[in-house]
Amino acid sequence: MANVAVIGAQWGDEGKGKVVDWLASRADIVVRFQGGHNAGHTLVVGNQTYKLSLLPSGLVRGKLGIIGNGVVIDPEALLSEIARVGAQGLAVTPATLRIADAAPLILPLHAALDRAREAARGERRIGTTGRGIGPAYEDKVARRAIRVADLAEPATLSDKLDELLLHHNTLLAGLGAATFDRRELLQRLLALAPQVLPFAEPVWERLDEARRAGRRILFEGAQAVMLDVDHGTYPFVTSSNTVAATAASGSGIGPAAVGFVLGIAKAYCTRVGAGPFPTELTDATGTLLGDRGLEFGTVTGRRRRCGWFDAALVRQAVKVGGIQGLALTKLDVLDGLPELKIGVGYRLDGALLRRLPASPQAQAAAEPVYETLPGWPDSTRGARSWADLPAPAVKYVRRIEELVEAPVTLLSTSPERDDTILMRDPFEG
């Protein structure tokens, strides 16, 4: 049996929550390996709807959840999320959740700096969630981060705060924002320590034991390939690597153990926040997709921009993300449209490109080149087999496979967990 890594193949919000939940029911361990509480998965289980940001999705299925060292953790946000799902009847304890002791912490000063920078950018703002994820990753790379293990050492915590505040208070003051008091921050962290530390351990050891025992591990990615800090539409990206290779480094397991890489893509395309979006629709069709697809961010609550499926973009994500199969979601949102368009490339300065250029100026100037396919008047909602799909819908899916150069191994036809057509079991490799 193979392990499985799930990553987004567009700009996030592709419906990973349902797919991860569906896979988690067959896994033993579910691991979050990058990002912070700027990610969001919505899971519908019976009559309960869980909105998760940091907690691994497998917890709602009674699976062991692990937050890897590649995640930046706001301890207050984590404890708040644990309390929120607890009020819904889902108990999260050290027996069901383990956290890498090497994971960096997000502090209030990180969120303050994030918001101050966005305000200073004005019209050039990136569109971050303002939750401090970027500044926390900066501190990690600069080797001044406070990590989960440091909560157990008050003297270490005190020394590290001195270095952090020397850096951050200078920046905050320069941006005209309020600065932070060292003593208050120290007391805040010391109060959080006994609540967080019972979850902490070197999770790489547990994952190595699980691998040796042949247990199924599901690696749960946040955001998506086109938000990857190296491979995405930079600078309108997140602050971590979102490709499947990060599942190894972000959890402490060898790359050979990551297993089958499943990319999630909508049957159309959406994006939250600023940045290039070549196939975006600002007309009535774009509004229709947003209304039917209930396109509001789980974390931000912001309306998502909507557009046609961009096969050139997803093909690029397949190549750099290591995607071996696609899960195509929300096919039913396209029901009833008389015709559909698929972006097959971009025209830039008279040249035809099959990839997005690296330059943000070129990305903004790239014009989509479309292929038009017939729509279908019949409903696909709730379909659970190929035989349930209208012929034009099958043709649409098959054409996507050809253009992105990857098979559609799973097809989702509604938010309901069981409304899924499986062509290949990812856990079978």
Q: Is 419 a catalytic residue?
A: no
DSSP label of 96: T
> Which stretches of 229-338 are assigned E, i.e. beta strand?
260-266, 269-271, 305-307, 309-310, 325-329
Alpha-carbon distance values, 151 to 95, 102, 146, 273, 281 (Å): 20, 11, 8, 34, 48
Quote the strand ranges of 290-338, DSSP E.
Answer: 305-307, 309-310, 325-329
| Residue 411 · residue 397 · CB < 8 Å | yes
13 noted as active-site residue: yes
Q: Which two tokens stand for residue 273?
A: 């926040």
Measured CA to CA, the distance from residue 250 to residue 35 in angstroms comes to 10
Q: Say whether 62 sits in a helix, a strand or coil.
A: coil
Q: Scanning the structure block, which residue is given the tokens 């912070």? A: 36
63 CB burial (10 A radius; 0-12, 13-18, 19+): buried
Phi–psi pair at 366, nearest 5 degrees: -65, 130
Q: Is 35 left (phi over 0), alpha (psi -120 to 50) or beta?
A: left
Question: How far apart, in whole angstroms, are the C-alpha atoms of residue 10 and residue 355?
Answer: 13
Q: Which of 37, 41, 168, 231 is catalytic?
A: 41
Angle at 21 between CA 17 and CA 27, to 5 degrees: 135
Whether omega before 235 lies within 30 degrees of 0, making that bond cis, reads: yes
- How far apart CA 143 and CA 52 sit, in angstroms, is 29
Bridge partner list, 99: 67, 200
Angle between helices 75-87 and 182-196 (to 10 degrees): 40
379: number of Cβ within 10 Å = 15
* Dihedral pair phi/psi, residue 309, rounded to 5°: -60, 130
* Alpha-carbon separation of residue 175 from 75, 106, 236, 386 (angstroms): 26, 20, 21, 57
Prior bond of 357 cis (ω within 30°): no
CA dist., res. 14 & res. 395, Å (int):
21
Q: C-alpha angle with apex 242: 238 to 302, nearest 5 degrees?
A: 45
So which residues are the catalytic ones? 13, 41
